[in-house]
Amino acid sequence: MKENKVYTKTGDNGITSLFSGKRVPKHDIRIKAYGAIDELVAWSGLIRDTTQNPSVQDTLIEIQKQLMTVSSQLAIDSDKDFPKNLRPLENTTVSFIENEIDLLTAKLPPLRNFVIPGGHILISYAHIARSICRRAERHVTELDQNAPVSATIIAYINRLSDYFFTLSRTFAFELEVEEVKWSGN
């Protein structure tokens, strides 16, 4: 009986495989891009496990699924290697995030200043997810300079950071935590 081991030892020399089998350094921009997305999937799970808001939990599990698709798409270095069982991210996914932002924003007081992260662990978690999302966006757009990335993915990641910012404000509102405003002084 063949053992299924988690470790393969094939990456011990700092090289990993893309979906096509092509070997690239682990510091390759493509790896950085989908690695940051992987971090975002994990942080989204932590937020989902920490919040008691069922609507947010449902949205976050959907976002995690969408991010897994993004990660998979970024691991494909050639359209000819695109797996038949993977549906690429669609524009409706960007609309989904925009709708979630609008639903949350409708319940919040207007924002007139920058907000300093903190006040409750959920607020901080959402801000960490936002900042990881921004890092992922930087890596994805850098990758796009060398190898075209779907415009839908770029728009989705950009919008997702707005979602996590709005989520942080939602947590502050629901938990009755006063947001610490920053005006530059």
More confident residue, 180 or 99: 99
H or E segment at 16?
strand 15-17
Confidence band, pLDDT 50/70/90 cuts, at residue 31:
confident
What pLDDT, on the 0 to 100 scale, is given for residue 26? 63
Residue 176 and residue 118: Cα distance in Å, rounded?
13
**Which sequence spans correspond to the domains of the chain?**
24-77+87-177
Check: CATH 1.10.10.10 for 24-77+87-177? no
The pLDDT score that the predictor gives to residue 99 is 98
CA distance 19 to 72: 8
- Contact, 15 vs 24, CB < 8 A? yes
Can you list the alpha helix ranges (DSSP code H) found in 51-150?
54-74, 91-105, 121-146
pLDDT at 21 over 70: no
d(CA 85, CA 156): 21
Encode pLDDT of 147-159 as tens digits: 999 999 999 999 9
What pLDDT is stored for residue 91 in this prediction? 93
| Residue 64: pLDDT band with limits 50, 70, 90 | very high
